[in-house]
A and B are shown apart, each in its own frame.
Chain A
Amino acid sequence: MQSINLHLKILIAVLVSLGVLITGYQIYFLDIPVTEDETDDIWSLDAKVEFRATPGTPIKAQFFIPPLNQDYVSLNESFISNNYGVNINNQAGNRRVTWSSRRASGTQTLYYRLVLTQRYSEEQAKAAPPPAPQPIQLEGPEQVAADALINPIRQHSADIETFISETIRRVNDITDDNVKLLLAGGTSAMDKARVIELLLSNARIPLELVHTIRLENTETQTPELWLRSYNGERWLYFHPETGQQGIPDNRLVWWTGSNPLLSLEGGRQSSVTLTVSNSEMNALRLAKLTTQNSASALLEYSLYGLPLQAQRVYQVMIMIPVGVLVILILRNLIGMQTLGTFTPVLIALAFRETELGWGIALFTVITALGLSLRSYLEHLKLQMLPRLSIVLTFVVLLIAAISLFSHKLGLEKALSVSLFPMVILTMTIERLSITWEERGGAQSLKTALGTLIAATLAHLLMTIPELTYFVFTFPAVLLILVAFMLAMGRYRGYRLTELMRFKALTKS
């Protein structure tokens, strides 16, 4: 017995941890939404490129577009450009689209749209670290100024990280004569970034200019410039003006390097408008969408991989253990009497077809009429099988009659009783009448009521949409249910009704 108990405990522990682990894996790693109506942010980045075409010259517009190897999954990418050839190529970690046209006249508008979501993105290969830079050659006073800046920076820093932040701090001090000289009048972020790059290249520290966009609902935005360097382990991001370290989460890299976003041949008065807008989408639909797009096995091996027809059946079936659990609790923990073990669950399933109120009413009416027929047949002293067959036929006729009448009365709801399993009703009637004979009317009423209550509770629980979704999406929770049932199998405590029954024994 001792070894069985240990065995059981281990089994329960294994089942619970398996259930928790699988469900946890689905929720935290596969990112499957916990509730059916969970929604997720979707970002759409729109770029509008406008320019006036120079008549008679071929047009070639080169435009950076965001690389896809980031923490986001692309749901959709589109280029809207009439009469333009579209060509995407990768260069030095950037993606670039080239729109080209032999000739065009007037104002040209080209659109680019990228739809992104962070959910379901998998671990992506990160951008490759930049090569060690060649020192940018300087001459005369500029070389002197650069050296004058680098030497104290080198003294005040310990590693790449501190070196870069010290450099940014010094370059932003525009009262410094050396900095002034190197900036040569410009004070924009781009100018400062250029000077920082220059200083760092002389110290042989690689640096990359990254143009980012904020994932926020904004009218229009201009790309924000950040600097990044690779310290051998990870990317370090710096703001070129504030020196702030670490890039905020909502920044998306659009392109790197010092080239402008758009370079245009054969046009003039170009302008680029970037807008970011956010919308929400049902997380489950999103999951299905990304599965199609990214070919991840995310939902492939779940019940969602089944054909839709089968899914409906499983949505009902997978809830049956929950209904059985209700009966288990009612019988073994509370001590309620029901007719048989699984009859209440079957009745609960039948309630699905009829709705609860109608189901209870019809069940009561048919059972009561069936019982009276059964008690009449008792006088005729028939054998069991013929008697059961008569009751069953009577139940069928009764259901048909109810359907007919309710149809004539315009109560379409009652029609669905035809799906009420007749055999269940017949057996219910038979067993109730045997209980009636053997244990008396009060006992059989008690049993019938217990059955009806159990069936109602099971039905209510089995049809909670959130619960159905949860169990259907995370079937591993059934393992936890099994663990509970196993524990109940060795439960030796009192039932609630026994506390009442044995109350007389507590008096002494």
Chain B
Amino acid sequence: MFWKTWKALSQAGVMGINRRNADYVLKYNKRHLYPVVDDKILTKERAIAAGIHVPKLYGIIDTEKDFDKFDSIVAEHRDFVIKPAQGAGGDGIIVIADRFEGMYKTVGGKIISRDEIGHHISSILSGLYSLGGHRDRVLIEYRVTPDQIFKSISYEGVPDIRIICLMGYPVMAMLRLPTRQSGGKANLHQGAIGVGVDLATGITLKGTWLNKIISKHPDTTNPVDGVQLPDWNGFMHLAASCYELSGLGYIGVDLVLDQDQGPLILELNARPGLNIQIANDAGLTTRCHMVERHLAQLKKEGREESAEERVAFSQKHFAKLPDAPLSSDEANASNA
């Protein structure tokens, strides 16, 4: 019975953790480059230097004493996000949506005092949320307002888009939608929904929720498939250019779609998860092998491809919808 599943999975080119670690993470990601992705401040600095869009950084707090700076950092902003620089999985993030009589109001509607924020920042600094418990830094940044398109298929929180890139070639994409169960967080292991995205058109496919395949949002009951994401090519280019930015060959790029600023890069992940395959109902190994063959071919010819060319390659070869490319109107009509 196991053997049958095994064969079916390997036929479908599904990537397992062992293969991801051995063939991609270990092979393409040099350890000394990890700080760039593990520290969100470094990622942001690199991105800004490369002219890539990221949520604006309001300020950094790196010692307990620096907390005095907090007021001046947020003085001009009614809403902002407090994040550990080295956090993982969305832990330790507080999103302030508004102010209320000298207090702060989170997205969830909870009122918290300045002291509570102070304690939270001190926890972050002591390394509570960082990988391996190192001392950490706190960054305070622009709060993303999710695009209206997500209103019907998301519950609170900010949906994000994860695109996995191999050597700068986008190989698979997924839209992550927060649910009531995930508490507004876009993390699959906390109960968020992952929805596959067609690389060629940016139209959503079926979704996965707790390792099951679904097609409706459990909270809003609206269909999650067939939604055209706006500015899809912008997403693809941002993701593809993260290779030059980080130097890492196998990464998951997390992006958000801001109502005003369009696609922004949130963070990079050097060990992106594998549930994206369930969301896309496709295996990563097959696609990665195709990119690797293409790279070998290019190497023989002695040339390298630009981000545009890489995106074009991915869109040509990894289109999931049979009649792609469709214009967004047609796509919506056919799925209606």
Contact = CB atoms under 8 A, between A and B. Distances in A.
B148 interface: no
List the 5 shortest-distance A-B pairs measured between CB atoms, nearest first.
Answer: A506-B8, A492-B19, A494-B16, A499-B5, A384-B126
A332 B17 CA distance: 9
Nearest to A488: B18
A385 B126 CA distance: 9
B133 interface: yes
B103 interface: no
Contact of B9 (A385, A490, A499): A499
Identify whether the interface residues of B are mostly helix, strand, loop, or mixed.
helix
Contacts of B211: 501, 503-504
Identify whether the interface residues of A are mostly helix, strand, loop, or mixed.
helix
Nearest to B206: A504
A491 interface: yes
B258 interface: no
A505 B23 contact: no
B212 interface: yes
B278 A502 contact: yes
B23 A492 contact: yes
A508 interface: yes
Contacts of B190: 439-440
Contacts of B128: 384, 434
A493 interface: yes
B289 interface: no
A37 interface: no
A144 B76 CA distance: 138
A390 to B, nearest CB: 15
B9 A383 contact: no
Interface of B: 2, 5-6, 8-10, 12, 14, 16-19, 22-23, 27, 89, 91, 119, 122-123, 126-128, 133, 189-190, 208, 211-213, 274, 277-278, 281, 283
B126 A492 contact: no
A332 B9 contact: no
Contacts of A384: 123, 126-128, 133
Contacts of B5: 499, 503, 506
B17 A505 contact: no
Interface residues on A, range: 20 to 34
A496 interface: yes
A502 B277 contact: yes
A504 B18 contact: no
A149 B281 CA distance: 98
Given A504-B278, A506-B9, A493 B212 contact: no
A437 B119 CA distance: 17
Interface string A211-232: 0000000000000000000000
Interface in A451-505: 489-496, 498-499, 501-505
A505 B22 contact: no
Interface of A: 1, 332, 335, 381, 383-385, 434, 437-440, 443, 489-496, 498-499, 501-508
Contacts of B19: 492-493
A381 B18 CA distance: 39
A397 B119 CA distance: 29
Nearest to B87: A438
A506 B12 contact: yes
A38 to B, nearest CB: 39
A492 B14 CA distance: 11
Contacts of A499: 2, 5-6, 9
B6 A494 contact: yes
Nearest to A4: B27
Contacts of A492: 16, 18-19, 22-23
B12 A493 contact: no
B2 A505 contact: no
Contacts of A506: 5, 8-9, 12
B112 to A, nearest CB: 12
Given A499-B6, A502-B278, A506-B5, A491 B22 contact: yes
Contacts of A491: 18, 22
Nearest to A507: B213
Contacts of B14: 494, 502, 505
A490 B277 contact: no
Nearest to A381: B119
7 contacts: A492-B18, A492-B19, A494-B10, A498-B16, A499-B6, A502-B278, A506-B12
A332 B18 CA distance: 7
A504 B2 contact: no
B208 A504 contact: yes
A502 B14 CA distance: 8
Contacts of B208: 504
A493 B18 contact: yes
Given A439-B189, A491-B18, A508 B6 contact: no
Contacts of B123: 381, 383-384
Given A494-B6, A499-B2, A505 B283 contact: yes
